[in-house]
Amino acid sequence: MNPTARARQYLTLAQLFSFPRPEVWQPLERDGVIPARSQDEREADYLATFELGGKQSAVPLYEGLCRPVDGREGILEDVMRFHEFFGVRLQITNRDYPDHLVTELEFMAFLCQQEAAGKDVDSFRRASRDFLRRHLLAWVPGFAERLAGGKTDYGEIALALADFCQEHADELEEMKEGVLP
């Protein structure tokens, strides 16, 4: 997959894990990908799944909360170092921590967009490979498994995300080894 398409995919996945907006979910419902629901039902599902819990414990959207053994402070520091190195600044209006899944996916989209721009391609590929290995692949597979055990559309989406991240990491590894151009 080319870097531009990969960036779009990361951004689409980020939208799916953001607080639900009708313009994101209605096309999926209209196409029969997921069952149609009201906006209130979408929001209730999101809150029950990621924040409040319901029949099952909530699954947090934060890497540091999903990897407590590794220590959230160190995870936050490492994510911020990636952002700072590439001059990425979180918006002041963004109330989420940098280890939020959506923020991490948007950062991966940024790296892919920079790779597509063609300047210092190896540096952006190396950063993508490192960020996937040190962050997304360190927690998204377990996050996906926890979500897959529930009765929510987010389980399938999370499994697809885990696969997508692994495929990207594999492709980057093949590029590093010279198997792919």
Domain boundaries, the chain: 3-173
pLDDT for 120 beyond 90:
no
The angle subtended at Cα 103 by Cα 159 and Cα 91, nearest 5°, is 160
Phi, psi (rounded to 5 degrees) for 94: -80, 115
pLDDT for 155 beyond 70:
yes
**Which CATH number applies to 3-173?**
1.10.3480.10
Average pLDDT over residues 4-11: 96
pLDDT for 39 beyond 90:
yes
Average pLDDT over residues 18-42: 94
Residue 181: per-residue pLDDT: 58
Return the top range by mean pLDDT from 55-64, 89-98, 129-138. Answer: 129-138
Residue 175: per-residue pLDDT: 82
Phi, psi (rounded to 5 degrees) for 36: -70, 140
Residue 80 contacts residue 98 (beta carbons within 8 Å): yes
Closest CA to 8 of 79, 108, 132: 108
Question: In whole numbers, what is the pLDDT of the chain averaged over residues?
Answer: 90
How far from the centroid of its chain's Cα atoms is residue 89's Cα? 18
Residue 14: per-residue pLDDT: 96
Q: What is the pLDDT of residues 64-73, one digit of tens each?
A: 999 988 888 9
Residue 101: per-residue pLDDT: 97
pLDDT for 92 beyond 80:
no
Full-model pTM: 0.91
Q: Which helix (H) or strand (E) holds 113?
A: helix 101-117
